[in-house]
Structure 1
Amino acid sequence: MLGFNEEEFLEQVRSTVALRSQIEELAERVSAGRWKNIYFIGAGGTYAAALPYERFFQTRSAFPVRAVIGKEFILAPDPQFGPDSVAIFASVSGTTEDILDCVEFAREKGALTVGFTGQADSPIATAVDEVLLSAPKAWPFDVQFLTFGAKLLSLRGEFDGYERLVKDLEAIPDALIAVTKQADPIGRAFAEKHADTDYHFLTGSGQLWGFTYLYSMCILEEMQWLTTTRVHAAEFFHGSLELIEKDTSILVFAGEDETRPLTDRVIAFAKEYSDDVTVIDTKDYELPGVSDEFRGLLAPIVADAVVDRFSKHLAQVRDHSLDLRRYYRVVAY
């Protein structure tokens, strides 16, 4: 498959699953310790990637958890953030400057700082109190975030089925290979159809809203220089629907959680008023070895594997490398 190294992919995902014991120890410390709240502090993709896990806590627990945009958080911090807080960071490279600034800020506030990265000697890995290392370039961080959240809530008596969930996560690396193979011809067809499309409208909800945000900004905009609109499916009918025309490319990320009716409503409208609707529906993808119980929680991981195929084929047909940048980490700002 285009731009896909199966051996490397399996190594990366398996390395995130292998962090289970370290993550459990961290969750046990937090549960038994002085900590009263948790902040996922991110920038760009790592902020977006944390949104499903903010939601995971907020729909199940009274324990305060927030996902925040780091640079804004430094300038306008939450008054509850301090020595009783856990600050969680993630960075593929371990060098993201905005995150480094936020780690320093969190340490000054006395928070426990935790970093997920794949670079042991990176600035972020050496700056945080606790570093949990995966294989280099391992992405996404969903396995780590979900394992931590589920274990902590299990200890609090607010999540049933932790052992069943981590058993499903053990099957995820091989299951995602199956997803990737199924998605490849779909991604290729999308790319060939949209080689010259310069605008895409994206929407999603629930566990997939953060991923919708991420794919719009961090892939289509940053990596392909394409214009996008991204809107939560619940907000679609409060203004953004006016942008839809017959030739508007609409991508709907449909998951398997309780917010599914929101995306179903958008799909029905979109198909009536546009001739170019692409639905990325996680329920269409088999997950060998994974039970049905937690498919809703696993939707971001599945969606990431699916649209990786879209991205690789878009880059090829548009002759625009996913590594090409004009400004990001190129010029001073």
Structure 2
Amino acid sequence: MLETTLLGFDETTFRAQTASAVALRPQIEEVVDRLRAEGFANLFLIGAGGTYAAMWPYEHLARRSSTLPVRAVIAAELIESGDATLGADSVAIFTSVSGTTDDSLRAIEYCKQRGVTTIGFTGYPESPIAQAVDIALVSEPKTWPFDMQMLLFMTRLLSERGEFEGYERFADELQVLPDVLVQVAEQAEPAASAFAEAHAGTDYHFLVGGGNLWGFTYLYSMCILEEMQWLRTTRVHSAEFFHGSLELLEEDTSVIVFQGEDETRALTDRVERFAKRISKDVTVFDTKDYPLEGISPEFRGLLAPLVLDTVMGRVSKHLERVREHSLDLRRYYRVLDY
């Protein structure tokens, strides 16, 4: 198999990381089945920054599909504010690329002091987070995002509760993700390069998304454009766009629309139509544009955060190139004490 020649894209590593996440399926199923057998009252999805935002699609999935209480929580806020429903009959999931995130480590300790069963997804078995949780599920180092693992966990759990149909077929289809996502990256490359070239000097972007893409919208705005590129952004849920934020639009405002394939698509379509009436610089990144061969139509919407993470990963690399601003450069994050 010939490797791609995409900017800053290590296909071998990308494939290995994606495959390693999908390969956790037997372990994830064993954990879910054990939790179900033992019984638990609620599920907390706990993160910090990007790992918090990346939990939102799975809170959203549970909210619309299940009667199980599932809540995405900011680690640092949980420690300070607490939660009256968090206790010995709770389960908490954490994700961390490095396995060293301080807020998450403190939240794990907070949970364990209250008898909560803690589960961690990371790429480093000897990391502090892997060592701290009750159950560590380890992929290849630096595997991101955690959507593969979270999709397997949540759909297995909902399936066992009779709240998700076709789990076995869906989980089987995830085996094609290494191929599918490489194809997504290849298809996205020209548009990613063109967007970066057109916006090399743009210092403000307005981002909109909804449904299971709202978390990614928040993440890309804050963790990539702001943290990694030091750009100013506004981010707004497509359902909330018409309640204030639309007043910021001008003719030259760069509007980035993230469009998925779930039931909230019409909300984002409405924003796109309006934005194009005002701004001459509206860019739509739509998961529907990608074939995703081997994925059944009824499952495509679930993969939207993962698909757009791949697409926008190409945009990020090209922004790094045209702006001559490394994605690894920080002024404050993990540089200064706070």
The correspondence of residues 2-81 of structure 1 with structure 2, limited to 5 A, is 2-81=7-86
Equivalent in the alignment of 1:235:
240
What do the CA deviations read for 1:178-197 (whole angstroms, capped 9, x no partner)?
Answer: 00000011000000000000
What do the CA deviations read for 1:102-141 (whole angstroms, capped 9, x no partner)?
Answer: 0110111110010000011110010100000000000000
Q: CA deviation at 1:267?
A: 0.4
SS in 2 for 1:67: strand
Comparing 282-291 and 235-244, the one that deviates more: 282-291
* 1: CA distance, partners of 2:314 / 2:160: 38
Q: Of 232, 246, 252, which aligns to 1:247?
A: 252
* 2: CA distance, partners of 1:184 / 1:96: 31
What do the CA deviations read for 1:219-271 (whole angstroms, capped 9, x no partner)?
Answer: 00000000000000000000000000000000000000000000000000011
Q: Of 280, 284, 287, which aligns to 1:279?
A: 284
The correspondence of residues 248-327 of structure 1 with structure 2, limited to 5 A, is 248-327=253-332
* 2: CA distance, partners of 1:120 / 1:242: 48
Equivalent in the alignment of 2:203:
198
Amino acid at match of 1:280: F
Greater than 6 Å deviation, 4+ residue runs: none
Amino acid at match of 2:55: A
Q: Of 165, 182, 194, which aligns to 2:170?
A: 165
Number of residue pairs aligned between Structure 1 and Structure 2: 333
Match status 1:174 vs 2:179? yes
Amino acid at match of 2:192: G
Q: CA deviation at 1:60?
A: 0.6
* 2: CA distance, partners of 1:30 / 1:157: 15
Structure 1: gaps of 5 or more residues:
none
Amino acid at match of 2:147: D
TM-score by length of 2: 0.98
What do the CA deviations read for 1:155-207 (whole angstroms, capped 9, x no partner)?
Answer: 11111110121122111111000000000110000000000000000010001
SS in 2 for 1:29: helix
Structure 2: gaps of 5 or more residues:
1-5
SS in 1 for 2:297: coil
Match status 1:118 vs 2:116? no
Q: CA deviation at 1:34?
A: 2.9
* 1: CA distance, partners of 2:297 / 2:177: 13
* 2: CA distance, partners of 1:264 / 1:5: 34
Q: CA deviation at 1:291?
A: 1.6
The correspondence of residues 142-161 of structure 1 with structure 2, limited to 5 A, is 142-161=147-166
* 2: CA distance, partners of 1:223 / 1:241: 26
The share of aligned pairs that are identical, in percent, is 63
* 1: CA distance, partners of 2:8 / 2:33: 39
TM-score by length of 1: 0.99
Q: CA deviation at 1:84?
A: 0.4
